[in-house]
A and B are shown apart, each in its own frame.
Chain A
């Protein structure tokens, strides 16, 4: 399969559907595993890495996932394709820019990927839209069981699944959710969220941005403790304690904005609309920042019945922008713009490399044509 088959649209876990999707964009669970008897990767020669790759690739390609499964050799892929896979959240930077024989097996609909020879021999992940962690775990556990019928993983009764870094030891599980928290940011409370997450032993990082400062107000929250708790404990902690609490924080911040600071809210949404509809050059950072405010406005109308002047105007725009109903502006449209205007997506869809100025122009053009009446 060519990556251009998937690069001009978003996948089903990023389309704004699923439970609690106004705040929880997607759920992801990954498991880290190593084959029993093989050295960990830092001590493997390229010949040994190839042997591991071949063994795991064969097993993974025979998985029955109800979708087409294909393999990408990451060490042979172009830099642009590797950047694309990272932007798409299908592989990690570690795999994309690492060394030696390595690859990824993935389902065409992108709900499953298996990274081979990343930090561990195998890292499998399942992704779903909205808050669906239990379903993610159920599915990945089944896939893990199937793989275990053919591959013996390094395991000790004391420490569980043995991983290259002791921080992943035991269950090898990383549970994460992608959260959209614009109101916490606007009300200056995002640091409280960082501190609360830290107190609960969770890691936060900004997505589509540098470091923890998320330009798009999208954050990834994940567990750090993998030993001493069962997989179902960790998943249920997320679903029953952590996520509901964060959703309450963000909702309270949205209500606060609406009740006490409607001017600030309207200013952000109006500026975002004006710039996105009219700019001719727009950087990736600026686009993400402004699209986040549109996303907030659309969700506040849809879920809270908010009707400030700017939100009303945004709603009218969403409904009327295209006579063709399939082209109306929805949360899926905004998410699509988030992803499709990232640098590697732009260039892959354009068909050739673009310099930063060329990318800024193309990005602005795509956004203008999506947000303006039949342009």
Chain B
């Protein structure tokens, strides 16, 4: 993609501005960004990231009905407003209570990742562990097929077969 200002260099900086509900995008090169006094922060404070993410999501009415917005977690009392201000959740149950609001945020923060693919606690009973591992492998298989990495997909398919036996 070419820079929208100089039409010469590759656009390496992609800006999205949302103002009064209207979204505008700009794709420019580093040189033109410097001339326009646009500085790129390489480290955005976590609270800023969270409130930005929550702010650009669809309104609660569109997404989850008014319920989540007004809800307080029955275990810890946290509301979405608290979360916006503090940037941290109040207890493990918040992930279920506010799932609809948190899910898009989680997806964005983890580059599209929404399901755990890593370590399973060593104390998990063998049956449950096997189920989780299989689920895990199937997710990885789906991802491999989507990326057209058929070599990895074949490897994962074999692993799944072995585990199912």
Q: Do A and B assemble together?
A: yes
Of B2-10, B19-27, B105-113, B156-164, which binds chain A?
A: B105-113
- Tell me the B79-95 residues at the A interface (CB within 8 Å): 86-92, 95
Given A152-B123, A167-B46: A231 touches B118 (CB 8 Å cut-off): yes
Residue contact B92 to A227, C-beta cutoff 8 Å: no
B102 at the interface (CB under 8 A from A): yes
B residues less than 8 Å from A154 (CB atoms): 92
Q: Chain A residue with minimal CB distance to B53?
A: A166
Q: Which residues of A contact B75 (CB under 8 A)?
A: 39
| A301 is an interface residue with CB less than 8 A from chain B | no
Total contacts A to B, CB within 8 angstroms?
137
Assess whether B76 is in contact with A40, with CB atoms less than 8 Å apart. Answer: yes
Q: When chains A and B are docked, how far (Å) is the Cα of A38 from the Cα of B135?
A: 28
| Interface residue? A370 (CB, 8 A) | no
B101-146 contacts to A, CB under 8 A, are: 102, 105-106, 109-123, 131-132, 135
Interface residues of A in 217-234 (CB under 8 A from B): 224-231, 233
User: How far in angstroms is the closest Cβ of chain B from A162?
Assistant: 4
Whether B1 is near chain A, meaning CB under 8 Å from some CB there, is no
Look across to chain B and name the residue whose beta carbon is closest to the beta carbon of A195: B12
B117 CB, nearest partner CB in chain A, Å: 5
Chain B's closest residue to A36 (CB) is: B92
Residues of B within 8 A of A205 (CB): 43
Pairwise interchain contact B91-A170, C-beta atoms closer than 8 A = no
B23-48 residues with Cβ-Cβ distance < 8 A to A are 30, 40, 42-43, 46
Given A171-B116, A228-B110: A166 touches B105 (CB 8 Å cut-off): yes
Majority SS at the chain B contact face:
loop
B122 with A227: CB separation less than 8 A = no
**Contacting pair A148 B122 (CB below 8 A):** yes
User: Could you tell me the distance between the alpha carbons of A212 and B24 in the complex, rounded to whole angstroms?
Assistant: 29
B95: A residues at CB distance < 8 A? 156, 159, 162, 166
Q: Is the pair A42, B88 in contact by a Cβ cutoff of 8 Å?
A: yes
> For residue B43, which residues in chain A have a CB less than 8 angstroms away from its CB?
203-205, 211-212
Asked if A87 CB lies within 8 Å of chain B CBs, one says no
Interface-centre pick from A41, A42, A161 (highest chain B CB count, 10 A): A42
With both beta carbons as reference points, the residue of chain A lying nearest to B124 in the complex is identified as A155
Q: Does B119 contact A166, Cβ atoms closer than 8 Å?
A: no
Contact B123 A149 (CB under 8 A): yes
A250 touches B (CB below 8 Å): no
Question: Are B90 and A165 in contact, with the CB atoms below 8 A?
Answer: no
Contacts A157-B135, A165-B87, A170-B110 given; does A34 touch B92 at CB 8 Å = yes
Residues of A within 8 A of B117 (CB): 170, 228-230, 233
Cα(A233)–Cα(B49), bound, Å: 25
Interface assignment of A67: CB less than 8 Å from any CB of chain B = no
| A97 → B minimal CB distance (Å) | 16
Tell me if B77 is interfacial: C-beta within 8 Å of chain A: yes
- Provide the residues of chain B in CB contact with A204, threshold 8 Å: 42-43
Q: Does B78 contact A (CB under 8 A)?
A: yes
CB distance from B20 to the nearest CB of A (A): 28
**Smallest CB–CB gap between A137 and chain B, Å?**
10
A189 to chain B, nearest CB (A): 12
Query: Roughly how many angstroms separate A234 CA and B71 CA in the complex, as a whole number?
Result: 36
Cα distance A203–B121 in the bound complex, in angstroms: 27
CB distance from B160 to the nearest CB of A (A): 16
Across-interface contacts of A43 in B (CB, < 8 A): 76-78, 90-91
- Please give, as numbers and ranges, the residues of chain B lying within 8 Å of A197 by CB-CB distance: 42
Q: Cα distance A42–B76 when bound, in Å?
A: 10
B88→A165 contact, CB < 8 A = yes
Q: How far is the CA of A160 from the CA of B116 in the complex (A)?
A: 5
Contact in complex: A228, B122 (CB < 8 Å): no
In the bound complex, do residue B89 and residue A228 qualify as a contact, i.e. CB atoms below 8 Å apart? no
Give A326-370 as 1s and 0s: 1 = Cβ < 8 Å from B's Cβ atoms: 000000000000000000000000000000000000000000000
Decide if A145 is an interface residue (CB 8 Å cutoff). Answer: yes
Q: List A residues 117-167 near B (Cβ within 8 Å).
A: 119, 141, 144-145, 148-149, 152-162, 164-167
A42–B90 touching, CB < 8 Å: yes
- Bound-complex Cα distance A82 to B131 (A): 45
Some 25 contacts from A to B, beta carbons below 8 A apart, are A36-B92, A39-B76, A145-B122, A152-B121, A155-B120, A156-B95, A157-B116, A157-B132, A157-B135, A158-B114, A159-B106, A164-B88, A165-B50, A166-B102, A166-B105, A166-B106, A167-B46, A167-B50, A167-B109, A171-B116, A201-B111, A224-B109, A226-B110, A228-B112, A228-B116
A-B residue pairs, 6 tightest by C-beta: A228-B113, A160-B116, A43-B90, A171-B118, A227-B110, A154-B92
Since A152-B123, A160-B119, A228-B113 are in contact, a sample of 10 more A-B pairs with Cβ atoms closer than 8 Å, ordered by chain A residue number, is A39-B75, A39-B76, A40-B89, A42-B86, A171-B116, A171-B119, A195-B40, A227-B109, A227-B110, A227-B115
